[in-house]
A and B are shown apart, each in its own frame.
Chain A
Amino acid sequence: MSTDSHKLPNWLLVFAVIGIVTVFPNTTLAVDSQDDPFEVVNRPVYQANDLLDQYVAGPVSQVYIDFTPEPLRSTVSNFFDNLLYLNVVLNDFLQGKGEQGLADSGRFLINSTFGALGLFDVATPLGLKRHDEDFGQTLAVWGIGQGSYLVLPFLGPTTARDVPDIGVSAVTNILFYVSNPVIAPVAILGFIDQRSRFDQAIQIRNELAVEPYLFTREAYIQHRNFLIYDGDPPIDDDDLFLDESFAELDLEEADPVQIEDEPDLKNQEIDPQANSTDPSDTPSRTVSIR
């Protein structure tokens, strides 16, 4: 959810948080996940963001949704998508997706001209679909690890690997090069548009989450992975996550005492023995594929 807003004060906050975060060395206080060593800092920032969203951004976006007809809202969304689209084009090429890069360049040019500065998405019907790429995904494709999960003030959830994209998306944002007082309201509209697009996701989170902080964190990390693999993350045949769970079930049944004192949820390793020796987990296959 690192968005386009290129307002410079956010940068200071980003650095401030990174500063705070580095001051707290491995404070292992209520750490649930290796992905989130800074949970102690992230949680209060999350709370603050949430309050801000609940009392300012949410209501503003609600007014916008209530009083703006849908076609107008999607026109606004098209416009901002197009303003930011050079980030997609750049990262297509950085990830070595040459063909997609050319298609996305075409998309940007067509929408900027025939689409009246991007207000209308005329490229999609021509077969130039919108892609979702950013510098965080590029870094992942280059093999850089995800790093720590961070919650940035105003900007929300991100990871160390996704932080540089804040800068890259700012300098690839067309608005960045417009020195005209008109950009202030445009930037605000951009923010409202962004928030209104998250509205449904936020509603779903509010309905489904029993622990919103963790829900957001896990969903963010997994969704990013989904984007990195362009919607097709490898589902490991081994499916570590489920296997671990099944191995647990098996272990429980096989030897209830053994896991009694193990630390909770931290051990991501599967006991290979539990996998191979479990009799209940190899039911006969009735459907043969191919």
Chain B
Amino acid sequence: MITMQFSDSPNCTTFEFWYNEPDMALIFSQRIILDTAVGSQKSAQALGAHGTIKQCLITSEVTTTFCIAPCTPISYTSFLRPTVVSRIIAVFFVCLFWIPSQEAFAGKASETIMHLQETIVKIMKEGDTLGYQGRYRVITPVIELTHDLSVIARIAIGRHWKKLTKEQQAGFTSTFQELSHSTYADRFNSYSGEQFSLISEKSLKRNRKLVQTRFVKADGEEIRFNYILHQVQDQWKIINIMVNGVSDLALKRTEYGSILKKDGYTTLIEKLRAQIKESANGL
């Protein structure tokens, strides 16, 4: 279901719309501001449910490119003052692209990623006031919802898993979960204009999805965050993260495998515990 609303100001037309699908966990609300003044610099913003800018593309003088759904750039040539005609054109585009683009690009796997990234930006922005404990508290339920940590933990130690006793397996999984929470709470601790944006969502074999995103720092430096997800009941959950091509799971697997082989389970747990402690004490 789409709800739309317009408002005009001298130089721009604002469209706001909410998108709500019954079986969707999130309700999307986006606002598109079109600068329709002749000759002025065109801008378009799509604001997410929590006021996060998802896409903001500024293009040449006559063409405003905006994204109705993340990563679906639609060109809207605006040479008209905010009039009935410009509204009709805009509504036409919204109706034409909104629903298909939701399905084609911002699938449910992307929703998982957007939910995670919005929370990351939130703890970054409120980093100082929340403190480590606060960030930990805010991000933990979101990590649990968006990551399949028990599967990640299991893959991270690969063949060693079955050599562990049931208690060791449970102990490792819970330590690993705690490590994941503390890593997020520690790493994303302050904000200086960074922004996530979705690039694409692709289907992989064996019912997995790849969601590609970029993390743009204030100085323009771009870091690619790509996620592989699989479906657990109705929820798409992350099973691997690749940062600039470096697979988190592959690194952990190599490290943990080597420690388990050389020094054994107790040492691995000790090292992970030390890391968790370091994250907590880091700030």
Contacts and interface: CB of A to CB of B under 8 A. Distances in A.
A133 interface: no
Given A207-B279, A226-B244, A214 B254 contact: yes
Given A225-B245, A245-B155, A252-B162, A210 B204 contact: no
Contacts of A282: 206-207
Contacts of B205: 237-239
Contact of B162 (A222, A235, A237, A259): A259
Interface residues of A, number: 51
Q: Report the 8 A-B pairs with minimum CB-CB distance, sorted nearest first.
A: A226-B245, A211-B255, A245-B155, A237-B205, A210-B271, A222-B246, A219-B246, A214-B254
A210 B251 CA distance: 10
B77 interface: no
Contacts of B159: 248, 259, 262, 264-265
Contacts of A239: 204-206, 208, 228
A186 B244 CA distance: 30
A241 B257 CA distance: 14
A242 B228 contact: yes
B239 interface: yes
A241 B208 CA distance: 13
A233 interface: yes
Interface string B104-127: 100111000000000000000000
Interface string B178-210: 000001001100000000000001011111101
Interface string A239-257: 1011101101100100010
B137 interface: no
A242 B240 contact: yes
A283 B162 contact: no
Contacts of A264: 158-160, 257, 261
A249 B275 CA distance: 27
B52 interface: no
Contact of B259 (A207, A210, A227, A260): A210
B258 interface: yes
Given A242-B228, A262-B159, A282-B207, A223 B245 contact: yes
A285 B207 contact: yes
A288 B187 CA distance: 35
Contacts of B247: 222, 241
B17 interface: no
Contacts of A290: 104
A44 interface: no
A222 B245 contact: yes
B255 A289 contact: no
Contacts of A235: 204, 210, 226, 228
B239 A242 contact: yes
Contacts of B253: 245, 265
Contact of A287 (B108, B210, B226, B246): B108
B245 A210 contact: no
Interface in B233-254: 234, 239-240, 244-247, 249-251, 253-254
Nearest to A253: B162
Contacts of A222: 245-247, 250
B81 interface: no
A33 B261 contact: no
A231 interface: yes
A164 B73 CA distance: 42
